[in-house]
Structure 1
Amino acid sequence: MTHAPLPHVAEPLVTVIIPTHDRAALLMRAVTSALGQTHGSLEVLVVDDGSTDETPALLAAVDDPRLTVIRRQTPGGVSAARNVAIAAARGDFIALLDSDDEWLPDKTARQLAYMLENGHIISQTQEIWMRGGRRVNPVARHGKPDGFFFEAALDMCLVSPSTTMFARGFFEEVGLFDESLPACEDYDLWLRTLLRHPIGLLDAYLAVRHGGRGDQLSTMFIGQDLFRIRAMIGLLARPEVTPWHRDCIEKELRRKVRVYVVGCCKRDRPEEAERVLALMETALGAAKAHDTQPPAPDGAA
């Protein structure tokens, strides 16, 4: 497996990607925190995903050559917005920032130094959680791990997009965000990442996560385990999945499907329960069949 090398330049350019849709009341806090970074070599790409509020006017009023606005007339979702910006990014490193979150001023500089020192292709930082304007302490199970934590990441999303930074070659190797997933698209990306790379943790509180609102994906989509199930089913077909990975996926997949099926039965949706059960069994059967295939003879393509 080939690993994308870290760029070696005197002052790496960092591209900050901020997707947004109808968040005029919150967006400028994120943009200001990005433009206020102490790291000097920076570009900020805001993808306005079809906003109909004051977002275009607010962005047009920002007089800073480091800011570029990519305007999409029709909303395509957060994954598509991020992917558009990744394609346009010029940076040696790419950092994600959600439009309702913010960074501390030295986040970019400290995370960049951490990645260069440790050779990480991807890393995250700690984050401050705010809910309703008040700081809250996450429970222990939400603690951020460091390194290879594939099995733990199957249970729940343990990486926050607004804390992440990537070397430029990361997306060429691991792939972009899955635009078919309306939510849990980051859960899918972290699992694909952990098949190949550790995710480094800079143990410093450098991002602020603002939660508790109805316009967030975590509250807009009920029953998000369906999207996690879809992500795990897709993961089973990837060539880098080992028998150990498959066993971990199967254990968590069966648990999540069991919970989802119980929910379907309570809501009188037996056809949906049967559909998801069949998808799971088909995917697991194909993965196990691949494991038992004999190796190709010498000289075979």
Structure 2
Amino acid sequence: MIIPTYNRADRVCRAVDSVLAQKFADFECLVVNDGSTDDTADRLAEYADLRLKVIWQENRGVSAARNFGIANSCGEFIALLDSDDEWVVEKLKKQIPFMEEGGFEISQTDEIWIRKGKRVNQCKKHEKPEGMFFDRSLEMCMVSPSCAIFSRKFWDELGPFDEDMPACEDYDLWIRAGLKYPVGLLRERLTVKHGGRPDQLSNSVACLDLYRIYAIVKLLQDGGLSAEEYDMALAELQRKAGFYIGGCRKRGRDGQAAKMERLVQDVAAGNTVVPAEIIKI
């Protein structure tokens, strides 16, 4: 499994502890220290478990850290764990056989949500689906990285994470995956997700929908979609862009709104668009 981390010494140790406590013992755990400047390296050096390997790179963001970790891994299955989350001790023991018996190339579990130290209930819209759900994946991210395990075959076909995306890199991977593979769902809460802190990407990166728009434009420009899939992706692009444009106009950013309008018009007309231009808007 791959744990990317940046300046989260206390929290990454909690994540690592939850991995090393797994009842399924045949694994390697790669922690990618993404250029941390706190005492992350010293804290991780205290572990003596041979299953744990810590590798370092200059700070390049979560996508590059995950890619680096996966490139240095050798397992048949690849599990992701964010450094601020943790696993229930039976996660691997239950999820690996679930995938093997079901023939899944990707699966996820249900999860427990902790916000500011308190357990909270999930909204109905966050209930995890299973099978093929490309349409729902376009609307919002329906696979949680810390819950997910996928095969090497899956990764070789659909990876890597887009390193130009400081956020929503998982959304980008999951919408592409939604065209290829059904997602198995193990309906047990085997992942604990902690949230509500300012250092989370969802709180520290402005306008996440801009990166989701970027991901959809990439998908539309790459080709390979059926007519139905193309129409679904274009409709979601227009919906998300509409919210973005409306927000820009409310804040007096008319130039940004106009650029996004032109871009969506070009995509809808079948004109070639450079997706990277979206991030520069």
The residue correspondences of 1:198-213 to structure 2 (distance < 5 A) are 198-213=182-197
Distance 1:286 1:34 in 2: 47
1:20 is matched with 5
Cα deviation digits, residues 242-283 of structure 1 (max 9, x gap)? 111111111111111011001111121112112222222222
Match status 1:53 vs 2:76: no
3-state DSSP of counterpart to 1:124: strand
Moved over 4 A (4+): none
Letter in 2 for 1:124: Q
Per the TM alignment, residue 153 of structure 1 is displaced from its structure 2 partner at its CA by: 1.1
1:11 is matched with none
Q: How many residues align?
A: 272
1:221 is matched with 205
Match status 1:116 vs 2:100: yes
Per the TM alignment, residue 285 of structure 1 is displaced from its structure 2 partner at its CA by: 2.4
Letter in 2 for 1:116: E
2:246 is matched with 262
1:157 is matched with 141
Letter in 1 for 2:243: V
Structure 2 regions of 5+ residues with no counterpart? 273-281
Distance 2:221 2:104 in 1: 26
* Of 32, 56, 64, the match for 1:71: 56
- TM-score for the superposition, normalised by structure 2: 0.94
The residue correspondences of 1:128-167 to structure 2 (distance < 5 A) are 128-167=112-151
Distance 2:224 2:149 in 1: 23
Per the TM alignment, residue 240 of structure 1 is displaced from its structure 2 partner at its CA by: 2.7
Structure 1 regions of 5+ residues with no counterpart? 1-15, 289-301
What is the aligned-residue RMSD (CA, Å)?
Answer: 1.2
Match status 1:248 vs 2:227: no
Per the TM alignment, residue 182 of structure 1 is displaced from its structure 2 partner at its CA by: 0.8
237-246 or 192-201, larger mean C-alpha shift: 237-246
Distance 2:159 2:269 in 1: 25
Per the TM alignment, residue 287 of structure 1 is displaced from its structure 2 partner at its CA by: 7.5
Distance 2:267 2:84 in 1: 37
Distance 2:271 2:190 in 1: 40
Letter in 2 for 1:163: C
Match status 1:30 vs 2:15: yes
Cα deviation digits, residues 156-190 of structure 1 (max 9, x gap)? 11111000001111111112111111111111110
Distance 1:168 1:152 in 2: 25
234-243 or 57-66, larger mean C-alpha shift: 234-243
3-state DSSP of counterpart to 2:194: strand
Percent pairwise identity? 49
Kept in 2, the 8 Å contact 1:195–1:240? The answer is no
